Amino acid sequence: MSVPLPLAGKVALVTGSSRGIGAAVAQRLAADGATVIVNYVSNAAAAQTVVDAINSAGAGSAIALRADVSSTADSRALIDDIIRRFGSLDIIVLNAGLMNTKVLKELDENNYTDHFDVNVKAPLFTIQAAEPHLKSGSRIIFFSSTTAHMSGVSPNYIVYTATKGAVEQFTRILAKDLGARGITVNCVAPGPIDTELFRNGKTPELIATFANMHPQKRLGTPEDVAPVVAFLAREDSRWVNGQTILINGGLAV
């Protein structure tokens, strides 16, 4: 007798999931049986590659939907489209992010606004749009970063780290606000993960420095993060709520 997949019948949205961690999370949720919306902004081909990989694997299924979730109009339209297509939304993984670090004297309002639009406004207003449709058992999973927890913070991460602090406060407060409805809200905070987002703007020497900071002397991979997100999406995680889980191989403890 076959055992049902843990996310069979669930509909999951993963923002920013055409590449990197988001793509790995989308594929893992689908492997657990979910119907996954692979959200992207500009790289339709990469998003379709993720969708094709999911659909060919034969567990869950996926479609790609474009939306710039830093636009409240786009995020509302995205949620409306999902509800129109599937009738429900059970799991929201707020992975879309921006990391473009600068030294203090080079910061400008555009850099500040871009970070807060993508890393703070986007997840908040995506949840606002989705909240009326969420039922008991729904799961909300934010993305923070280990940089918000390191005693020896990385230089030039002032704006990026501030946005992740905001996301962790969203997690704590929404866990209280939505908990009575049986909705859990959690957050994951990966350390340095070997993705295009992480490597952007860094020299090979700096990347090696980050790798050597870990007890295991390597960067994390998207596949190190995806199983933790998948657990938080399952019924088994029902008593985990309001938590930020660090996924960093022991870099910050």
Distance of alpha carbon 223 from alpha carbon 33, whole angstroms: 17
- Tell me the sheet residues that pair with 37: 13, 63
Cβ–Cβ under 8 Å, residues 192 and 138: no
Cβ–Cβ under 8 Å, residues 55 and 253: no
> Which of the residues 17, 164, 176, 202 is marked catalytic?
164
Burial degree of 95 (CB within 10 A; 0-12, 13-18, 19+): buried
CA 82 to chain centre: 18
Cβ–Cβ under 8 Å, residues 173 and 241: no
Distance of alpha carbon 40 from alpha carbon 65, whole angstroms: 7
Q: Residue 31 is encoded by which pair of tokens?
A: 């492997």
176 tagged catalytic: no
> Which of the residues 160, 176, 217, 237 is marked catalytic?
160
145 tagged catalytic: yes
17 tagged catalytic: no
> Which of the residues 17, 18, 145, 154 is marked catalytic?
145
The set of catalytic residues is: 145, 160, 164
